Structure 1
Amino acid sequence: MSQTNALLATLKRALRMRGITYRQLAETLEMSEASIKRLFSKKCQP
């Protein structure tokens, strides 16, 4: 697993453990929910 994939998996797991949704994260970061989803999707990785 690449470092990027490992980091994304860790972040996703941490969000799930804390019950934080992509929508809540987007609001906190002042981003759209779609942008957050793209960042966490494998399509976004170079």
Structure 2
Amino acid sequence: MGDWFEELSEEEKQEIEIGLYQAENNQFVNHEDVMEIFQKYKQKNT
């Protein structure tokens, strides 16, 4: 049984690499901010 990463497509590997790069460079939105945005959207549509 090999490494699961080796079983991914090239596109999936690239997406993971992009995500790691973004995380290392603080290019992300934290969970609390996402949930706040989601709550505003949810309240607006109920």
Instruction: Please give the TM-score of this superposition, normalised by the length of structure 1.
Output: 0.44
Larger relative helix fraction: 1
Structure showing greater relative contact order (alpha-carbon pairs closer than 8 Å, 6 or more residues apart):
1
Higher Cα radius of gyration: 2
